[in-house]
Structure 1
């Protein structure tokens, strides 16, 4: 009997989306308020895509009295506040794609929350109680939790077409700071057991300045079975020019779990974006596909250049079958290390 074990594609229908709310004033400092404003814009684009549509409900995790109060004020400004539920939880930071579970279907087709072991992106940023977040999300979603304690990884390291094809990077999942001694076949066996991976496409490395060690949700995303979007360099000083060219080359040569050659579409990268004088891992690939909308991050506040974001938005809008497309500036979130896909985790429809 064919197994039903699968992580659904992001464009499959959602019952909800789980999002982290910027809560730690000591981590965000002057960017706390602006980062919260960007998350509010992200939430609005999910919940109220226009044309009288309501998007999937938002489950928002926040820590501490100040963060809860700020989230309550934000919710009061929404046209339909009941679509957003605030959960007090001991999140170390907002990056639920990595600290929380990944929702998938088990062998019977039932929804489960699969939790890989999280070690602060290779021991860089280990925060108290991060290891509780998967349990909390699974319990409040009323979904059975499956733990894979012998394997370290994060949701942002995985990209799937929902048909058994996954993309990841060697820099992340084969890194000695996560899974020393494991081979590609070892990792593929875990991804099969946890998410039904039948074919894994391996990219070598990710963007400069990415403390996640090359998460794939900054590099390449499926937009349909057999169709992947990635970035090409923008500007003569793009710090990732060679890396992006190698990614496109790898994907062009790849086939999916059904043996199809992938169709590759490219959009411009944000170009050179710096924080404190160093290249930042700004990416138009960190978009989120909601039930009725798609939200792409842009970085004009940091880069001072709207051109690459506008071009990327036009291409992505044509690729994704959603009635509403929105580009939202994510410059302040990026100071914390990520963007909209990093702070969210979709819960597939039962």
Structure 2
């Protein structure tokens, strides 16, 4: 039987991070996105933290990335090819000890963003890491799942059962596929994700395991939070759920960023849930509201007392459709 994927809080031997490499995709946000990812990498790297493998997606971006991190301990710049930086979705999912990894088919998030080389990312990372892979023919993005390390997997119906991924999937078919590929014993089915989420509701924007039997999910911040009802329904579903070890899940409500608008005054899927659990640190994306960010950091500190809570801006990265968890993938030690 396939062993469960390790929880993200277990030690890592390395952390992959995607570097904004294609100016044409980012437009006027390109330079700021690079600055935000640089800050993330510097928060991750160093003694007692992560060995960062910074994946650069084309030759044009390589000199600039190398110059930024020259002499920075714990950062290795890796020349590669990708369409965009969302390594959580296109990269491999590593098994315990990174002795093996699981890879999946990708289709540009339901055909919306089909870029060259994204279907090669998982094999590139696995080859660079020296890890053999098992290939699965169904479509799956890593950000659609969250793992507790004991066989409980969080996901959303909006994404995993979306006909733009695996059109004939039922919940039963999906559960069988996840049992075979990532060792899922219990699949926790949440409903919809965040409003205007390009990923069709990835769970890493909505709910995350933070300890055995404990799941964090947002609580609305401010009176105009567009996802208030989704957050409350998510918390309700989680509180009624039993995990693979027979525990009733406990729910940690973390203040959301509230209403965040893009340049056209449309709500964007800003989420503190896209935090990254790293060796020695929790890096929390922030979106301009210092009070919301502080409250989120304080909530997460209650379950990660032994790690530094780093609040780091992610407004420009969000214009691409995700945040820090979306652009990263860990190799368990």
Contact kept, 8 Å, 1:6 with 1:197, in 2: the verdict is yes
d(CA) in 1 for partners of 2:305 and 2:183? 25
What is residue 98 of structure 1 aligned with on the other side?
A: 89
Contact kept, 8 Å, 1:232 with 1:269, in 2: the verdict is yes
Structure 2 gaps of 5+ residues are none
What is residue 49 of structure 2 aligned with on the other side?
A: 55
Deviates more, 1:56-65 or 1:262-271: 56-65
d(CA) in 2 for partners of 1:74 and 1:184? 46
Work out which of the residue numbers 48, 59, 76 in structure 2 matches 1:85.
Answer: 76
Give the alignment's TM-score, normalised by structure 2: 0.97
Structure 1 gaps of 5+ residues are none
How many Å apart are 1:116 and its aligned residue? Answer: 1.5
Contact kept, 8 Å, 2:196 with 2:267, in 1: the verdict is yes
How many Å apart are 1:321 and its aligned residue? Answer: 4.1
Contact kept, 8 Å, 1:294 with 1:322, in 2: the verdict is no
Contact kept, 8 Å, 2:98 with 2:331, in 1: the verdict is no
Q: How does 1:238-317 map to 2 (within 5 A)?
A: 238-275=225-262, 276-300=264-288, 305-317=289-301
What is residue 69 of structure 1 aligned with on the other side?
A: 63
SS at match of 1:115: strand
Work out which of the residue numbers 7, 14, 29 in structure 1 matches 2:12.
Answer: 14
How many Å apart are 1:65 and its aligned residue? Answer: 2.9
**Cα-to-partner distance string for 1:65-105 (whole Å, 9 max, x where unaligned):** 33111111111263x2xx21111111111100001111114
Alignment pair present for 1:224 and 2:215: no
SS at match of 1:65: coil
What is residue 131 of structure 1 aligned with on the other side?
A: 119
SS at match of 2:153: strand
After the TM superposition, list the runs of 4 or more consecutive aligned residues in structure 1 that deviate by more than 4 angstroms: none
**Cα-to-partner distance string for 1:126-156 (whole Å, 9 max, x where unaligned):** 001111111100100100111101x111000
d(CA) in 2 for partners of 1:33 and 1:185? 44
Alignment pair present for 1:335 and 2:319: yes
How many Å apart are 1:64 and its aligned residue? Answer: 2.5
Contact kept, 8 Å, 1:205 with 1:243, in 2: the verdict is yes
SS at match of 1:139: helix
Aligned pair count? 332
Alignment pair present for 1:29 and 2:22: no
**RMSD between superposed Cα atoms in Å:** 1.3
d(CA) in 2 for partners of 1:257 and 1:318? 24
d(CA) in 2 for partners of 1:4 and 1:202? 21
**Cα-to-partner distance string for 1:237-288 (whole Å, 9 max, x where unaligned):** 1111111111111111111011110110101110000112111000000011
SS at match of 1:222: strand
Q: How does 1:80-229 map to 2 (within 5 A)?
A: 80=73, 83-105=74-96, 111-149=99-137, 151-229=138-216
SS at match of 1:278: coil
Contact kept, 8 Å, 1:101 with 1:134, in 2: the verdict is yes
